[in-house]
């Protein structure tokens, strides 16, 4: 704010006076949570930022001679709604509790406030964008249940560019259908009395109030509260901690993104938009982020590689043992690698009538596939059983097959599952990476795409 907050409030007070003189009743000022949520803030951080904005406006208007009662009536509030249904319901309910506490603290009677909700930008995906329709429906429903006075639903193609008429119509009708078919507007606070939601609301309000007090305690260049917290970097640092934790959860798929980091549709058809999205300037000091962006970047790299070379980076699944032995981990691995845009070469295994793996047939299939990478898939019992006629006498089946695949030209070898105590021996056999629930999928796929030259 080059002019300073005091000068800004003086200008705002003059503008509001003109509007009131022309008959406008307000509200005139918005306490907006969207920039903070888009930059990665948690729900409690978003609430703290919103009520801290409100407190700053009240102080600024009072300093310019506006009675607090009139100043409070000039405010409205905007929150984001995302596809975590219960936390969104709790967030909207918690805001009313928090603002009532502020009004009580400054000697005002609690009054109804106007809350506008908007479906979250950061939850949108460019890949498999039709899932965004479901995300937006959940978010809109949750905002309504939580007590939003109005809700804006982003079109499902918004992350791709300017939505066409069909996408805008779907967005516009989402809230109308929920109102008319689910009767969301006929009950005041329908979540009241639900133990889980009440507890979540109270917990969120307590956390947000604690963060609000930290913001209010900030001082910077003669300013206090939210203005100071923005100026000295306190808010940015607070949000950065939340971003780091969420980024880790996204990378390990603890926070899955359907259609992007889980269950990708490798055969999806591109969706039409009126104009592509123009990237925001990189020097934005408080950048907005969509959760799916890191995984979408992987798919973009794989697509670009396919367009350049005519083929996708490919991974051959070296299924060991019987179908019952390898199916679970083979399907897990297929899903994981397709998240990165890899072509996964499946097969029905190479077991003979006794269930033993025909490693010669497996290696021949790998050579015929043209893949540069291979991933072993089976149960631990099969992996670590003694190999028959192994190249090295003491090798387990996994070690023996890995050596043969490496000899056959595999540039990278993986194993679906955790290595446990066998990691050193597996590494010596050529297996360098492991795909398992909880692994850093983002880092693993980034490494593999780099090895593939994508």
- pLDDT value at position 322? 94
Evaluate whether residue 76 is within a structural domain: yes
Evaluate whether residue 160 is within a structural domain: yes
Evaluate whether residue 262 is within a structural domain: no
What residues does 161 pair with on adjacent strands?
Answer: 276
User: Same structural domain for residues 71 and 211?
Assistant: yes
User: Same structural domain for residues 346 and 201?
Assistant: no
Evaluate whether residue 83 is within a structural domain: yes
Q: Order of strands, edge to edge, in the sheet holding 29-32?
A: 29-32, 75-81, 115-119, 150-152
* Structural domain span for residue 383: 296-451
Whole-angstrom distance, CA of residue 436 vs CA of residue 322: 20
Evaluate whether residue 315 is within a structural domain: yes
User: Same structural domain for residues 212 and 95?
Assistant: yes
User: Same structural domain for residues 203 and 318?
Assistant: no
- pLDDT value at position 4? 66
Token pair 């490693």: residue: 359
Token pair 């179908």: residue: 323
Q: For residue 1, how many other CB atoms are within 10 A of its CB? A: 11
Alpha helices by DSSP H, listed for 123-233, are: 131-146, 165-182, 195-216, 225-231
Per-residue pLDDT of the chain (454 residues; tens, 9 = 90+): 445 677 777 788 788 888 888 888 878 899 999 999 999 999 999 999 999 999 999 998 888 888 999 889 999 999 999 999 999 999 999 999 999 999 999 999 888 999 999 999 999 999 999 999 999 999 999 999 999 999 999 999 999 999 999 999 999 999 999 988 888 888 888 888 889 999 999 999 999 999 999 999 999 877 889 999 998 999 999 999 999 999 999 999 999 999 999 999 888 888 888 888 776 655 555 667 789 999 999 999 999 999 999 999 999 999 999 999 999 999 999 999 999 999 999 999 999 888 899 999 999 999 999 999 999 999 999 999 998 876 777 899 999 999 999 999 999 999 999 999 999 999 999 999 999 999 999 999 999 999 999 8
CATH number reported for the structural domain that contains residue 12 in this entry? 3.20.20.240
pTM of the predicted model, to two decimals? 0.75
User: Same structural domain for residues 415 and 329?
Assistant: yes
- Structural domain total, the chain: 2
Evaluate whether residue 263 is within a structural domain: no
Give tens-digit pLDDT for 307-323. 999 999 999 999 999 99
User: Same structural domain for residues 229 and 330?
Assistant: no
Whole-angstrom distance, CA of residue 316 vs CA of residue 23: 71
Residue that is last in its domain, among 210, 244, 278: 244
User: Same structural domain for residues 215 and 325?
Assistant: no
């Amino acid at each position: 704010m080059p002019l300073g907050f005091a000068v800004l409030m003086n200008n705002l007070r003059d503008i509001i006076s003109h509007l009131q003189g022309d008959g406008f009743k307000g509200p005139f000022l918005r306490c907006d949570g969207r920039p903070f949520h888009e930059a990665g803030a948690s729900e409690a951080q978003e609430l703290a930022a919103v009520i801290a904005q409100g407190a700053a406006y009240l102080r600024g208007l009072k300093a310019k001679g506006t009675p607090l009662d009139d100043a409070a009536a000039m405010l409205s509030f905007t929150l984001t709604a995302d596809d975590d249904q219960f936390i969104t319901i709790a967030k909207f309910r918690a805001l009313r509790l928090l603002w009532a506490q502020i009004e009580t603290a400054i000697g005002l009677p609690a009054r109804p406030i106007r809350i506008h909700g908007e479906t979250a930008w950061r939850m949108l995906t460019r890949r498999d964008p039709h899932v965004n329709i479901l995300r937006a429906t959940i978010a809109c429903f949750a905002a309504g249940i939580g007590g939003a006075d109005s809700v804006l639903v982003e079109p499902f193609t918004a992350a791709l560019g300017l939505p066409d008429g069909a996408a805008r119509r779907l967005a516009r009708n989402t809230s109308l259908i929920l109102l008319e078919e689910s009767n969301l507007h006929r009950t005041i606070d329908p979540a009241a009395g639900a133990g889980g939601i009440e507890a979540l609301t109270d917990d969120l309000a307590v956390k947000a109030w604690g963060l609000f007090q930290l913001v209010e305690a900030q001082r910077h260049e003669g300013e206090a509260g939210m203005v100071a917290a923005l100026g000295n970097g306190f808010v940015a640092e607070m949000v950065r901690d939340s971003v780091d934790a969420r980024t880790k959860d996204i990378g390990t798929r603890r926070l899955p993104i359907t259609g992007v980091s889980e269950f990708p549709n490798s055969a999806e058809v591109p969706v039409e938009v009126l104009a592509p999205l123009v990237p925001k300037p990189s020097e934005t000091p408080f950048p907005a982020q969509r959760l799916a962006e890191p995984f979408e970047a992987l798919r973009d790299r794989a697509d670009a590689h396919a367009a350049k070379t005519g083929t996708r980076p490919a991974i051959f699944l070296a299924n060991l043992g019987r179908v019952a032995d390898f199916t679970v981990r083979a399907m897990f691995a297929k899903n994981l690698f397709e998240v990165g845009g890899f072509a996964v070469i499946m097969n029905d295994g190479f077991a003979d009538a006794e269930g033993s793996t025909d490693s010669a047939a497996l290696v021949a299939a790998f050579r015929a596939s043209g893949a540069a990478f291979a991933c072993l898939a089976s149960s631990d019992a099969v992996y670590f059983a003694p190999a028959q006629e192994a190249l090295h006498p003491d090798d387990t089946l996994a070690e023996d097959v890995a050596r043969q695949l490496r000899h056959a030209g595999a540039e990278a070898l993986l194993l679906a599952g955790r290595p446990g105590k066998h990691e050193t021996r597996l590494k010596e056999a050529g297996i360098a990476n492991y795909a398992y629930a909880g692994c850093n999928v983002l880092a693993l796929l980034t490494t593999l795409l780099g090895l593939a030259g994508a």
